[in-house]
Chain A
Amino acid sequence: MVTDIAQWLGAESFINPTKRLYWLFLLSSFLIALIFAYYKKTGQEWLSKEIWWHRSARLDYQYYVLISLIKSLLIYPFVISVTETTHITLQLLISLFDYQETLYLTHWIIVTLYTASLFLFSDFTRYWLHRLLHKSELLWAFHQVHHSAEVLTPITFYRVHPVESVLFGFRYALSTGFVTGIFLYLFGAQLSLFDILGVNALHFIALFIGSNLRHSPVPLAYYHWLEHWFISPKQHQQHHTPAYSNKNFGGVLAIWDTLFNTLQTNSNLPSNIKVYGLKAEESLRLHSIKDLLFKPFISIIRQRKSF
């Protein structure tokens, strides 16, 4: 019961390796920030109270607890699971192509292929769902919740409207089930995942090497060429500025942004980002938990009426 409540309130995230706030990932991000600070001979301002105790950050902390509760009690029970989506994919494949005897391939090849496919396809669907959240007027009303943050801290990652969480929940189950269904169909019991602490190894590495810096005051940019392959923390921070919010939709990989022309590297941009948040004219002014949860709906109703 106590652990259940801890989980509902989001405390469990710090000891769960599938979560971005897992203590190890916070620690590794912190280490990277330290090294970066030493190298750049700056960093004092990253710890300032202006950021971590900003009203936007304080709202994030409160919202984090509430959204954890909403997710575990109201959403989680109703989202489709990977077991179901994998099962559906398998049945679909069998009805389309008939059952085939399992193929034989050396174990490490299957595991590598599966682990990489899962990671790639997942990152690909993340990109498109994120891009859709910006392109669709309806979905943008919800995604604005995330973009309304005026300062970025690792907790801002969870400043997401429940509707968006539901969409990401379905995205996860569908993309994982799709890839897993295909691999099980082909290789049967030979299939296994290359994992670290139960997390896809590639995903784990991505989390380990500083994904918490994406939402943080640390403007870590990569080399120009590397930012064509991987989204640097600073590239995501650019995405949080009104001027570049239609760039850098990617999660871990930048190849989708490169491929579909939405990439913005940092090499020709001012080095310090000052303004995060929404454009003044479209700002929903989301300053309370109530605003974050309900204003998107109100704005959608207004949109409909104005047509």
Chain B
Amino acid sequence: MFKILLTITTLSLVFFAGAMQTVASPQAGDITLEQKVFQEILSTVLIHDTEQALTELNKLQHTLKMLETDGNIIQTQKQFIHFMTAWKKVQTAYIAGFLNEDLLDHPRYIDTYHQGNEDIGKQLSRVLKTKTDVSTALFKHSYKTINALEYVLFTAFTKQSTRSIQIAKAITQSLERYLKDINETYTNPELTETAGKAALSQLANSLLNSSYQLHAWRTGEAGGFIAKYQDKPSIKRLEYYRSTASLQAIHAILETHQRVIGVNERTGLAQLRPNQSEVSFLQRKLKSTYTATLSPTPLTAQVKSKAFKNLYTALKELHDAYFLLLIDALGLQAKILDADGD
């Protein structure tokens, strides 16, 4: 009797373990869903956007060349905004530093928004006034960023100044180098071929961090909605107040969120969690905030308006929607009433 029971019990346990094993282990050589989704986002977002940013940068370099002869800054300024929004897209979904450690600090070499608290305007006006060789004068990383470029093209530009054009050109060269590094990383199969789940969670974290920055930095600070600047709105805290292009920046960022998450169940990260209500909730939030940033009025003229406050609130809810999605994705048992302490 004992031996029969023991045999039956052991056999059923072994059978169960075997069944678990076959369910759990994927076949060698199979591409996981995560790898497939990553490849898709890599080509449609990461590589696409980096190449786009390089194209816009080259166009900007071209207008700078024209500027030397015709002195018409408007064209260059317009092109700056095209390049800037293209860069925001690269920055929003940035994971090149995860794929290749050497590129961890590249976003900071390109963009100083919210990095440290140096007054780039004051420092650059000094650089513009001196006669030192351009390459020596731009010795600091922050002098070669997109924010420095904005200052040179929108605040400091005067028709007489060939020096500001020289400096602008030098900045674009530096930006080009970093963007090329990023592009090389994304297009290097050795770095991306096996990327899957971990890369996607880095990507999701980039969006999570970005959604925080959207409400706390990009709108909250200027509107005086956060504790540090409570009720003290100031347009100078907008990301691109010099070029009055802050809204376009936010718009570009949200557009990237939409493409990475996917607009339906068959694109982007949403493929990984079909039928999950938190995903569609996030998608709806993304869509509504995206639509809200279609307004033609620059943020510099809106900071004290109700619409701006609404945008801030919507972006804050967006950040929350990300967290709710992450909580749900953990798949924890919602409630357990068993008195497991007994």
Interface residue ranges, A against B (CB under 8 Å): 18-20, 24, 27-28, 30-31, 34-35, 37-38, 71, 75-76, 79-83, 86-87, 90, 99, 101-102, 104, 107, 126-127, 129-130, 133, 146, 157-158, 160, 164-169, 171-173, 176, 180, 184, 188-193, 195, 198-199, 214-215, 236, 249, 251
> Do the beta carbons of B334 and A82 come within 8 Å of each other?
yes
Q: Which residue of B lies closest to A156 (CB)?
A: B342
Inter-chain contacts of B200 with A (CB < 8 A): 189
CB–CB B337/A107 < 8 A: no
Find out whether the CB atom of B202 lies under 8 angstroms from the CB atom of A190.
yes
Cα-based distance from A28 to B14 in the complex (angstroms): 11
Cα–Cα, bound, A96→B161 (Å): 49
Of the residues B13, B198, B327, B335, contact of A180 by C-beta under 8 Å: B327
Within 8 Å by CB of A169, from B98, B201, B337, B342, lies B337
Q: Is the CB of A189 within 8 A of B323?
A: no
Residue in contact with A81 in the complex, picked from B198, B204, B209, B334, CB distance below 8 Å? B334
Q: When the two chains form their complex, are residues A31 and B10 in contact, meaning their CB atoms are under 8 A apart?
A: yes
Q: Which of B1-9, B40-48, B142-150 contacts A (4 or more CB under 8 A)?
A: B1-9
| Cβ 8 A contact of B338, one of A19, A34, A249 | A19
6 example contacts (A-B, Cβ-Cβ < 8 A) are as follows A18-B333, A18-B336, A34-B5, A82-B335, A188-B205, A190-B201
- The minimal Cβ–Cβ distance linking A184 to chain B, given in whole angstroms, is 6
| Chain A residue at minimum C-beta to C-beta distance from B12 | A27
Give the distance in Å from the alpha carbon of A158 to the alpha carbon of B337 in the complex: 10
Q: Are A168 and B330 in contact (CB under 8 A)?
A: no
Contact A164 to B339, CB < 8 A, known contacts A87-B324, A190-B202: yes
Tell whether A180 pairs with B340 under 8 Å between CB atoms, given A76-B335, A99-B216, A102-B205. Answer: no
| Contact, CB under 8 Å: B341 / A27 | no
Given contacts A75-B337, A172-B336, contact A102 B209 (CB under 8 A): yes
- B interface residue numbers (CB < 8 A to A): 2, 5-6, 9-10, 12-13, 16, 98, 197-198, 200-202, 204-205, 208-209, 212, 216, 320, 323-324, 326-342
CB nearest neighbor in A for B209: A101
CB distance from A152 to the nearest CB of B (A): 10
Q: Which 5 A-B pairs have CB atoms at the shortest separation, nearest pair first?
A: A189-B204, A130-B341, A126-B341, A160-B339, A189-B201
Contacts of B326 in A (CB 8 A): 184, 188-189, 191
Q: Is the CB of A24 within 8 A of B16?
A: yes
* Additional pairs, 8, CB under 8 Å, beyond known A82-B332, A193-B330: A34-B5, A76-B337, A81-B334, A81-B335, A87-B320, A146-B342, A172-B335, A195-B331
Q: Which of A34, A37, A83 contacts B334 (CB 8 A)?
A: A83
Q: Which residues of A contact B208 (CB under 8 A)?
A: 102, 188-189
Q: How far is the CA of A251 from the CA of B342 in the complex (A)?
A: 7
> Distance (Å) between the CB of A70 and the closest chain B CB?
10
Does B6 lie within 8 Å of A35, measured CB to CB? yes
Assuming the A-B contacts A107-B198, A184-B323, A188-B204, are A193 and B331 also in contact, with contact meaning beta carbons closer than 8 angstroms in the complex? Answer: yes
Contacts of A127 in B (CB 8 A): 341
Task: Knowing A184-B326, A193-B331 are in contact, say whether A79-B337 is a contact too (CB < 8 A).
Answer: yes
**Alpha-carbon distance A251/B337, docked complex (angstroms):** 15
Roughly how many angstroms separate A203 CA and B323 CA in the complex, as a whole number?
Answer: 25
Q: Which residues of B contact A164 (CB under 8 A)?
A: 339
Contact call B330/A38, Cβ cutoff below 8 A: no
Which residues from chain A contact B333 at a C-beta distance below 8 Å?
A: 18, 82, 198-199
The residue of chain B having its C-beta at the shortest distance from the C-beta of A95 within the complex is B227
Residues of A within 8 A of B204 (CB): 188-189
Nearest to B203 among chain A residues (CB) is A189
Q: How far apart are A134's CB and chain B's nearest CB, in angstroms? A: 10
Q: Is the CB of B6 within 8 A of A176?
A: no
Closest to A78 in B: B335
For residue B339, give the distance in angstroms from its CB to the closest CB of chain A.
Answer: 4
The answer for the CA separation of A184 and B326 in the assembled complex, in Å, is 8
A214 to B338, CA, bound (A): 15
Residue with the greatest number of chain A CB neighbours at <10 A, chosen from B6, B205, B328, B330: B330
- Using Cβ atoms and an 8 Å threshold, which residues of chain B touch A24? 13, 16
Is there an interface contact between A168 and B6, defined as CB atoms closer than 8 Å? no
State whether B327 touches A249 (Cβ < 8 A): no
- Report the Cα distance A130→B338, complex, angstroms: 13
A127–B342 alpha-carbon span in the complex (Å) = 9
Beta-carbon nearest neighbor of B208 in chain A: A188
**Roughly how many angstroms separate A191 CA and B202 CA in the complex, as a whole number?**
11
- Interfacial chain A residues near B339, Cβ < 8 Å: 146, 157, 160, 164-165, 167-168
From residue B41, how far is it (CB to closest CB) to chain A in Å? 14
How many Å lie between the Cα of A140 and that of B341 in the bound state?
Answer: 14
Cα distance A89–B35 in the bound complex, in angstroms:
33
Q: Which residues of the other chain, A, contact B13 by a CB distance below 8 angstroms?
A: 24, 27-28, 31
Interface centre among B2, B208, B333, B342 (most CB of A within 10 A): B342
